[in-house]
Amino acid sequence: MDEQIINKVAESGLLTINLEDYYPQEDIAVFDLRPLLFMEMILKEKDFRLALSQTNWDVYTEKLVAVTCSVDAVIPMWAYMLVASYLQPVASDVVLGNVEKIRTELFLQKLRKLDLSEYTDKRVVVKGCGDLPIGEPAYLEITKLLRPIAKSIMYGEPCSTVPVFKRK
């Protein structure tokens, strides 16, 4: 018997997009306001300004910096502005939020910049399982971007997919 093995997945015309290929790899440093607060709860302007003036800003050189406050404290708007005024000359960018929030936003920005023309009128599988924490926002975003152009969108692996969208 000379039965030829046929790779039906390869002949299916499916295109796979792996979101892990676009996962942000940028180094994100965190600047937490908490240690600069009196009793880690209250911002005293004079002490806060002194602490900022004594901070070693070189550790943030060319890094994306997440500015956050890890305690529930009332932080006046000018305090964030003051921190940004110190970070802006050294950091590659300064963003308000935690690392996860910033990584998600970077991820969405990368996806929005993709040239998806190769997926026009094609059957697309958005790869599911992987090693990186892709997260729901990225899957939602890629679906929004692909839906107007793709013939169909599926989730998973080419050998086992869940249908998401099919143009009629």
Q: Computed from CA positions of residues 119, 123, 128, 130, in that sequence, does the dihedral angle turn out positive or negative?
A: negative
152-157 sheet: strands from edge to edge: 14-17, 123-127, 152-157, 160-166
Is residue 115 in a domain? yes
Beta bridge partners of 166: 152
Which of the listed residues 68, 98, 128 is the one where a domain comes to its end?
98
Distances, alpha carbon 47 to alpha carbons 39, 50, 58, 73, 126, in Å: 12, 5, 21, 16, 51
Which of the listed residues 98, 120, 145 is the one where a domain comes to its end?
98
User: What is the chain's pLDDT, residue by residue, as a tens digit (168 residues)?
Assistant: 567 654 444 445 899 999 999 999 888 999 999 999 999 889 999 999 999 999 999 999 999 999 999 999 989 999 999 999 999 999 999 999 999 989 999 999 999 999 999 999 999 999 988 889 999 999 999 999 999 999 999 999 888 899 999 998
Provide the number of structural domains found in the chain: 2
In a shared domain, residues 131 and 91: no
Is residue 154 in a domain? yes
Is residue 4 in a domain? no
Which of the listed residues 98, 127, 153 is the one where a domain comes to its end?
98
Q: pTM of the predicted model, to two decimals?
A: 0.75
User: Which of 27, 23, 25 shows the shortest CA–CA distance to 130?
Assistant: 23
- CB contact at 8 A, 48 and 78: no
- Which range of residues forms the domain containing residue 107? 10-24+102-166
In a shared domain, residues 48 and 81: yes
In a shared domain, residues 16 and 36: no
